[in-house]
Every structure is written in structure tokens, then in C-alpha cells.
């Protein structure tokens, strides 16, 4: 089976009404789109805007203005690797192509005109790879993933650089409808900035009669809760997540919330639509 996924975020720098948030034109705006994925068995193709930062400021005390615009897009090919000889072991590989542009301008006001102090307009292209493995033992699955293991970013006018490497390890326990997971993620650097992740998922599936025929219709519902933090010291240092997914025949809808310190006003709402064919 092949499945198409589209994901969006419902969040903005300014407050918007609910009906404005769910308006189709708002979904299609650049700030709301998150990623597009086409998955088929052990192969998937994805497009995702990785960064879209735009800052324009003016300081009246120093008479200086600053403009910063940075965009980075990613095209990704994902491959799943399994072998019947080792059914409990699986591997995954991500091949990523990156491209973007940086514009940076600093000016100061002299009289009635702005004078340029610093200006950068540069483009970047590059690649990156992720590699992961899973091992299943009974109802327990162990996982290990290295992100940006081999990478390189080439700027037109500046030295090439590698992407910061990260590593993640996790374990999931459960079978049937209930699964609990624990994970840890860290940078491979002198300052690791390690984060710890906890999660729980409850899933239920059932068949119902079709309204138009005697065939049964497959449906499913899952509920997910989780939390992650670097130290779990105080609610303000913890990100709480809540999500749910429902599928009916070839359609799937997923919704999730990410809230730091249980502050709903500052939460990010994500949802994705899936279509299988």
C-alpha cells in the first residue's frame, strides 16, 4: 500500500480565531505547512521546510536596523531494510538533500538615509544522512539512531561546514493496544544538551458494517501522551505532548499538541491528513 501524508501546524505569531485557523487558505500558507510524505512499503519520499526565520528590527536608541532572513528546505529519501533470516532486526537509512539562502543586513541611520554596515546574501546546498537500527525481543523493542551522521553544507562564499551530529536511543515495551516508551537524545559534542523522553500510546482497532454494502470497514483510534525535558526540574522546563489519531478505510487523521509548562496559549498544534491507495 502507498500512503500520502500532509502535515500542518496551527500556530502563528499573532492570535487568530478558531475559524480562521481551520480555514483552508490558512492551511496552505507558508507558515502553516510542515511536511509532505509519500510512503510505500519500505520506501518513503518527503519534503520539509527545515527553517523559515524572518526578523526585521529597528533600535531607536542606536539608530540601527537589522534584517535577517534564513530559509532551508529538505528533500529526503527513506529506506527500510529487513531480512527474513533476522526477523527481529531492522534498519533504516535517510538520505537528505538540503538547500537554502541567508540574507543578513545591518544599517545605521545618518540624517534621513540608512548607511549599510554589513550585508550577507549567500546560498547553501548540502546533504546529510541518518542511520538507525531496531532489535525486537518479545514485547520489547530497542532502538538506536544516529542523526546527521555524515553531512556537509557548502556555502557559496563561506567555508563548508558539517551539521551537528546527534544520537538517540530508546526502548518500547508493550503489545496489542498498550505501549510504553522511554528515550534519550543528545548531541555528539563537548556540550551534549541531553534530553529525556517518556511516552505512552493506547490503540484500539475494530471492524464495522459499511453503510453502502455488506462488507466490513476497518477503523482505528489511538491516544498518545508524553513528556520530554533536559532535567524534569519544574513544570516550566518540561514539554508535554498529547496526540490522537483516527483512521477509517483509506483515510487517516492525526492531531497533536506540544506545550511547554502546560501553557496552552503558547502551545503548538499539529495535524496531518493521510490517504492510502
Rounded to whole angstroms, the Cα distance separating 71 from 77 reads: 20
Instruction: Give me the pLDDT at residue 31, please.
Output: 55
Beta pairing partners, 60: none
Of 64, 90, 87, the C-alpha closest to 79 is: 90
For the stretch 161-165, contacts whose Cβ atoms lie closer than 8 Å and that sit 24 or more positions apart, written own/partner, are 163/126, 163/128, 164/188, 164/189, 165/189
pLDDT tens across the length of the chain (277 residues): 788 888 877 654 444 443 443 444 444 445 567 888 999 989 999 999 888 888 999 998 899 999 999 999 999 999 999 999 999 999 999 999 999 999 999 999 988 899 999 999 999 999 999 999 999 999 999 999 999 999 999 999 989 999 999 999 999 999 889 999 999 999 887 777 899 999 999 999 988 776 666 678 889 999 999 999 998 988 889 999 999 999 988 899 999 999 888 777 778 888 898 998 7
> Nearest 5°: CA angle at 146, between 143 and 151?
160
Instruction: Give me the pLDDT at residue 1, please.
Output: 75
Rounded to whole angstroms, the Cα distance separating 32 from 23 reads: 11
Rounded to whole angstroms, the Cα distance separating 228 from 232 reads: 8
Instruction: Give me the pLDDT at residue 212, please.
Output: 65
Instruction: Give me the pLDDT at residue 18, please.
Output: 38
Instruction: Give me the pLDDT at residue 11, please.
Output: 56
Contact status, residue 70 vs residue 88, Cβ threshold 8 Å: no
Instruction: Give me the pLDDT at residue 12, please.
Output: 47
N-terminal to C-terminal alpha carbon distance within the chain:
6
Name the residue with cell 557548502: 154
Instruction: Give me the pLDDT at residue 129, please.
Output: 97
Instruction: Give me the pLDDT at residue 96, please.
Output: 97
Amino acid at each position: 500500500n502507498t500512503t500520502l501524508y500532509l502535515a500542518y501546524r496551527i500556530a502563528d505569531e499573532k492570535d487568530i480565531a478558531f475559524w480562521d485557523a481551520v480555514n483552508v487558505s490558512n492551511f496552505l500558507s507558508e507558515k502553516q505547512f510542515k511536511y509532505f510524505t509519500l510512503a510505500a512499503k519500505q520506501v518513503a519520499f518527503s519534503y520539509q521546510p527545515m527553517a523559515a526565520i524572518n526578523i526585521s528590527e529597528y533600535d531607536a536608541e542606536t539608530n540601527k536596523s537589522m534584517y535577517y532572513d534564513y530559509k532551508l528546505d529538505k528533500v529526503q529519501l527513506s529506506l527500510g531494510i529487513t531480512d527474513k533470516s533476522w526477523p527481529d532486526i531492522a534498519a533504516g537509512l535517510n538520505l537528505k538533500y538540503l538547500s537554502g539562502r541567508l540574507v543578513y543586513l545591518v544599517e545605521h541611520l545618518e540624517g534621513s538615509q540608512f548607511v549599510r554596515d554589513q550585508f550577507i546574501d549567500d546560498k547553501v546546498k548540502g546533504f546529510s544522512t541518518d542511520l538507525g537500527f531496531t532489535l525486537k525481543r518479545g514485547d520489547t523493542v530497542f532502538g538506536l539512531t544516529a542523526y546527521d551522521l555524515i553531512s556537509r553544507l557548502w556555502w557559496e562564499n563561506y567555508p563548508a561546514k558539517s551539521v551537528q551530529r546527534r544520537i538517540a536511543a530508546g526502548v518500547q515495551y508493550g503489545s496489542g493496544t498498550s505501549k510504553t516508551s522511554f528515550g534519550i537524545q543528545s548531541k555528539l559534542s563537548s556540550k551534549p544538551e541531553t534530553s529525556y523522553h517518556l511516552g505512552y500510546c493506547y490503540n484500539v482497532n475494530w471492524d464495522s458494517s459499511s453503510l453502502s454494502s455488506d462488507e466490513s470497514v476497518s477503523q482505528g483510534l489511538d491516544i498518545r501522551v508524553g513528556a520530554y525535558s533536559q532535567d524534569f526540574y519544574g513544570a516550566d522546563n518540561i514539554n508535554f505532548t498529547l496526540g490522537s489519531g483516527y483512521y477509517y478505510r483509506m483515510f487517516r487523521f492525526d492531531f497533536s499538541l506540544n506545550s511547554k509548562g502546560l501553557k496552552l496559549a503558547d502551545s503548538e498544534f499539529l495535524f496531518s491528513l493521510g490517504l492510502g491507495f
